[in-house]
Amino acid sequence: MNRSFRTRLTTGALIGVVAGMLGLSFASVPLYRLFCQATGYDGTPKTVGVVRPDHATEQTITVRFDANVNSALPWSFHPEQRQVQVRFGEETLVHYRAVNTSDRPVTGMATFNVVPEKVAPYFSKLECFCFTEQTLAAGQEVSMPVLFFVDPALMQDPTVRDVTSITLSYTFHRAEGEPAGQPTTARLDTARSTKAGG
């Protein structure tokens, strides 16, 4: 094997390694998010592989709601109720409200987590406006639903049995690229029962 061939081979291998590392760096953020959503890691409620409980308990827990908006997004955003009392294993429907305060369509995307972080594996979202980008027309106001449950298994875990309340928090950011087009709104069958709280 001559020196010129070995040099080309080594150069090609190094280029391949660099390209692979760049690919992994771009993929790491969505892969990390997917991992968190599947496992409840880092305070991220489970949204992947969620299994609905087959029963609800009589024991309850308080779920509070928090809303934030990045300064680059011209929206107002808040929960329609500050908290609800839910039974473990019970599907609960709540709503947030968003308003586009600008004079043109704007697309946003919500990030989310729960506090305390250690309960995230037991907090599962079945449907949520945060699963997709949301586009609001100029001045448009929409109700954004979230359907969730708290797994009864939480009561059997000695590391989290002391938790009496959970806070579900969202932060809306301007979507990357912010595609123009027809405004869309989050919709969910509101015929499902919802629990109102104080």
> Of how many residues is the chain composed?
198
Is-contact 45 113, C-beta < 8 A?
Answer: yes
Q: Which two tokens stand for residue 12?
A: 């090609």
Residue at 45 is within a domain? no
Please tell me whether residues 97 and 26 are part of one structural domain.
Answer: no
Structure tokens at 195: 């629990």
Q: Is residue 31 part of a domain?
A: yes
Judge whether 198 lies within some domain: no
> Helix (H, G, I), strand (E, B), or coil: what is residue 58?
coil
Count CA atoms within 13 Å of residue 196 on its CB side.
1
| Res 46: pLDDT | 57
Q: What pLDDT is recorded for position 52?
A: 81
Q: Is residue 183 part of a domain?
A: no
pLDDT of residue 7: 61
Tally of structural domains, the chain? 2
Question: Per the domain annotation, does 34 fall within a domain?
Answer: yes
Instruction: Please give the model's pTM, rounded to 2 decimal places.
Output: 0.68
Q: What is the per-residue pLDDT across 86-121, written as a single tens digit (0 to 9) for each?
A: 999 999 999 999 999 999 999 999 999 999 999 999
Same-domain status, 61 and 98: yes
**Nearest-CA neighbor of 152 among 104, 93, 85, 88?**
88
Is 117 in the same domain as 31? no
Q: Measured over all CA atoms, what is the biggest interatomic distance in the chain, rounded to whole angstroms?
A: 79
- If the chain, 198 residues long, is cut into consecutive pieces of 10 residues, what is the mean pLDDT of each piece? 61 54 43 40 55 87 98 97 96 97 96 94 94 96 97 93 95 78 41 41
Beta strands in 16-140 (DSSP E): 60-69, 75-79, 83-87, 92-100, 106-115, 123-128, 134-136
Within this chain, do residues 87 and 162 fall inside the same structural domain, yes or no?
yes
The answer to whether residues 68 and 11 belong to one domain is no
Q: Report the pLDDT value the prediction gives residue 161, as an integer from 0 to 100.
A: 87
In a shared domain, residues 25 and 68: no
Instruction: Check whether residue 66 and residue 125 sit in a common domain.
Output: yes
- Which CATH number fits the domain that encloses residue 118? 2.60.370.10
Residue 196 lies in a domain: no
Residues 7 and 68 in one domain: no
Q: Which domain holds residue 29?
A: 3-39
Q: Are residues 75 and 133 in the same domain?
A: yes
If you write DSSP's letter for every residue of 129-179 in order, what string do you get?
Answer: GGGS-EEE-TT-EEEEEEEEEE-GGGGG-TTTTT--EEEEEEEEEEPTT--
Closest CA to 130 of 108, 100, 107, 110: 110
pLDDT score for 45:
62
Q: What Rg value do the Cα atoms of the chain yield, rounded? A: 22
- What average pLDDT does the structure give for the chain? 78
